[in-house]
Amino acid sequence: MPPRPSLASYSALGIAVVAVSSSAPVIAYAAAPALAIAFWRNAMGVAAIGPVALLRRRGELADLVRRREGGLSLLAGVALAAHFAL
């Protein structure tokens, strides 16, 4: 039998559900261009996840910079930005 998830896991799941559920009404209420909303949503996501990734996965991120997947990831980011812009 797998171990039972911790209280921190349940708390993180609850916060994620509330954040995703409330994002559509908040964005609909915002009086900002779609590209600005997309930029700030992505910026806040990087601010929330970036430090954890840098602390826990530093080696994997360093390998990504040196390998072909890093360039493909950059290209995917450009395509995502174009998607949001259009």
Q: Residue 40, CB half-sphere, CA atoms under 13 Å: how many? A: 9
Give residue-wise pLDDT tens across range 32-55. Answer: 888 888 888 888 888 988 898 889
Q: Tell me the C-alpha distance between 14 and 4, whole Å.
A: 16
pTM: 0.61
Enumerate the domain spans of the chain. 7-85
**Residue 55 — φ and ψ, nearest 5°?**
-75, -40
Q: Would you give the distance in Å from CA 42 to the centre of its chain?
A: 6
Q: Which of these, 81, 80, 84, lies nearest to 33 by C-alpha position?
A: 84
Measured CA to CA, the distance from residue 12 to residue 23 in angstroms comes to 16
Q: How confident is the model at residue 82 (pLDDT cuts 50, 70, 90)?
A: confident
